[in-house]
A and B are shown apart, each in its own frame.
Chain A
Amino acid sequence: EKVLKLGTVGFLGMPIGDAIDQALIPTLEEVSGGKMTIEPHYRKSLCSEQSCGEQANQGLIALWTSSTANFGNFGTSLAIFDLPYIFKSIEDADRISSEWLAKKQCDIAAEEAGHVCLTVYSSGGFRQLGNAHGPVHVPSDMEGIKWRVTKSPIEYTLVKNWGAVPVPYDWSQLYQGLQTGVVSGQYVATPWQHVAKLHEVAKYFTEIGGSWSGNQLSIDKRQYDALTEQEQEWLQIAAQAFGQKVQELDRAWVEAGETAIKAEIDEWYVPSEEELVQWRAGAIDAWLNAKGTYDPQTARRVLEEQGMTGFITQLEEAGAL
């Protein structure tokens, strides 16, 4: 019997944790006839995000989850998921990712990153802007506001291009930072904002839907190669079941989070189509800055499948495709 340790920040009661518990573990148990099992360690109890990837490489654990942005610390193979406005809607993202994009990029990751990603899925839908300063309708409203960013080059340049002051700030101190004004804005997927109660101290929201909050499940490459072909197949089947389950649960999670947030804030602004053009314009520079981390052909195919011809033209003119 083979036991695979899994490290994640996910927990029971949210999609990643529940999908591990309800799909990944039982499916693997079932298809392998009990020959392979997963030992989950939720809620950062062994590691979180990038450090889980490191522990997998060290053989301390086997499977791990993280955001696609944090996967970027091991290489650029999943960077395409982080490009702002590459997906039009949650549905498009789920469809394209599960139909071919995840598989294609994960094959590259296996070559370059030392990790075999088994599936890419959404954790909380899209990132949305939340801030304590005041209403933000167009990028120029962000001018000079200190905006918390993660240490992701794409997010950093995106927020900077919109005119805000990007401030890398520790997640564990973000609530207090927003409360006291060390930083005034943040750009995180809405259910995660709800989990961290950020809406209590940042009451203005803008639904710009730019960056998809991609997440991934991986196994260390060396440990994957040490499995028999049969075992690899079982794991892939279980991972597919996990991906589907997470997708299902994630929609409801996003909706619940957004409903709860909307009940307690001052403004939830949905930009008009003209205003969205301005938001996307800031994104084009982020694509330019990220050039080299994604394959233009692949990105073009993703956009074409969603009929985003206007955006393709804009990106072409800027030289990003």
Chain B
Amino acid sequence: MESVVLLIILVVLIMLGAPVGFTMVLIPVVYILITDAAPMILIPSQMFSAIDSVPLTAIPFFMLTGELMTSATITDRLVELSQRLIGRMRGSMAQANVLVSMFFAGMNGSVVADTATVGSLLVPAMKKAGYPASFAAAITAVSSTIGGIIPPSIMMIVLANAGGISVGALFAGGIVPGIMIGLLLMIINYIIARRNNFERSEEPFSLKAIAIVSYKSSFALLIPIVLVGSVVFGIAGVVEAGALTATIALLVGLFIYRTITWTNCKSAVVRAFRNSAMVFIIIAASGPFSWLLTSLGAINQLEMWLLSYTHNALLFALVLVLFICLLGMVMDSAANIIVVGPVLVDVMVKAGYPDVQAALVVVVGFLIGSVTPPVGVAFFTAGAIAEVRLEKVAVAMLPYLVALFALLFVLIIAPDITMFLPRLFGF
């Protein structure tokens, strides 16, 4: 009961505009001051312990890879490629937005980086082409969830670390759901674009033009190849592979594209450590909070409650989706994945699901949460880029979000979607 109160206070404070990370530390501090339930040393000690982990070091590596590739102007080329590929479709820029996110996802692991990078290129262009700003923000935000689902993925690393699951298996399992989400969003785009009579490109479809721009953007493929290759050939583990891809990204920018200068290299490094630190600050802040929740037995109670629904598979899936949706609305996705993620995985495993599927459901669900209003970092970011009121973005996102949660439900009841590739890779 106490723990529920703690969680509600946390949510209320965050809704009132409190900084998420610091509030997560503030609550255990105040709780300890009032109840003396644990020594205050818990706070600094668990902040440190929460980030003291080898697998988590992959996060800055993949952040750096994404930033360096962006500096190498590869994103511009991917946008051009996507527009060439589907320019003749109605709503072509909205479709390109999804397609770029799918390409971009292969070298970037974070939803927010995807929103910011793809958004800052495409949102201004979409507004100019006559799309409502709220729609441009909405499709940018929802499609960027793919950035965290198609590997590499920061949140998969976080959950694998917290739940003791193989990062490689999760990466393999993310590919199919990531592509499915992309296709689903494109179908909805198509319907909305037809109904609103959105633009389409007048440029003729040209295989030659596609070939040229494919060639120009082909080095984007190098990152997934290095990632998969170094792991498959036993050169490095998935975590170490992040350092290799960052090195390759730097080399491509320096010697092949020759677009990386001292200045933009410096700013790529700074952006990478800042974005990575943002995730880590939430992880560190969750440390004392989740220690306290575990120690008070709240985690156990939550588990018991969820397990009471397992007698009916469909009901269980429904409860799970609703629970993930609700938490995703009010909490940060990293915090959700660290504090609640392992419990959900545990519950699903006890209910008979494979742990890799369980973890993927949790990651996909909470990543959708980084887009769902009222609290969602990708949601804020997209709104800020499009310079539009967040309420309007929320309305424009609604059909997409309904579809995404429906897909999440399918991912729970159809294990083959998530387990097919991991099984093929022998996990």
B residues less than 8 Å from A307 (CB atoms): none
Flag if A180 contacts B291 (CB, 8 Å).
no
CB-based contact B231/A170 at 8 Å: no
Is B168 on the interface with A (CB-CB < 8 A)?
Answer: yes
**Which residues of chain A come closer than 8 Å to B427, judged between CB atoms?**
176
Asked if B16 is at the interface (CB within 8 A of a chain A CB), the reply is: no
Interface pairs (28), CB distance under 8 Å = A41-B294, A41-B295, A45-B299, A54-B45, A58-B41, A59-B39, A60-B38, A60-B42, A170-B54, A170-B239, A172-B54, A173-B54, A173-B55, A173-B167, A173-B237, A173-B239, A176-B168, A176-B169, A176-B238, A176-B427, A179-B426, A180-B232, A180-B233, A180-B234, A180-B237, A181-B234, A182-B235, A182-B237
Report Cα–Cα, A50/B57, bound state, in Å.
Answer: 20
Could you tell me the distance in whole angstroms from the C-beta of B240 to the nearest C-beta in chain A?
8
**Cβ-based interface call for B259 (8 A):** no
Contact count band on A: 20 to 34
Other-chain contact of B166, A5, A60, A173 (Cβ < 8 Å): A173
For chain B, the bracket of interface size reads 20 to 34
Q: Is the Cβ of B235 less than 8 Å from the Cβ of A175?
A: no
Check if B161 is an interface residue, CB within 8 A of chain A: yes
Q: Which of A177-212 contact B (CB under 8 A)?
A: 177, 179-182, 201
* A46 to B290 CA separation, bound complex (whole angstroms): 9
Proximity bits, A48-74, B CB within 8 Å = 1, else 0: 000100110011100000000000000
Q: Which residues of A contact B291 (CB under 8 A)?
A: 46, 60
Give Cα distance in the complex from A245 to B300, angstroms: 26
Residue of B whose beta carbon sits closest to that of A201: B426
Q: Which residues of A contact B (CB under 8 A)?
A: 5, 41, 44-47, 51, 54-55, 58-60, 169-170, 172-173, 175-177, 179-182, 201
Apart from A54-B45, A176-B167, 10 more pairs, CB < 8 Å: A41-B294, A46-B291, A46-B295, A51-B49, A58-B39, A60-B41, A172-B55, A173-B55, A173-B238, A179-B426
Q: Pick from B45, B55, B167 the residue with the most CB of A within 10 Å.
A: B45
Q: CB-nearest residue of chain A relative to B234?
A: A181
Q: Which residue of chain A lies nearest to B288 when distances are taken between CB atoms in the complex?
A: A60
Pairwise interchain contact B55-A180, C-beta atoms closer than 8 A: no
CA distance A15 to B266 in the complex (A): 53
Q: How far is the CB of B183 from chain A (nearest CB, A)?
A: 29
Verify A60–B45 contact, CB threshold 8 A: yes
Alpha-carbon distance between A58 and B237 when the two chains are bound, in angstroms: 34
Q: How far is the CA of A58 from the CA of B41 in the complex (A)?
A: 7
Smallest Cβ-Cβ distance to A60: which chain B residue: B42
Residues of B within 8 A of A46 (CB): 291, 294-295
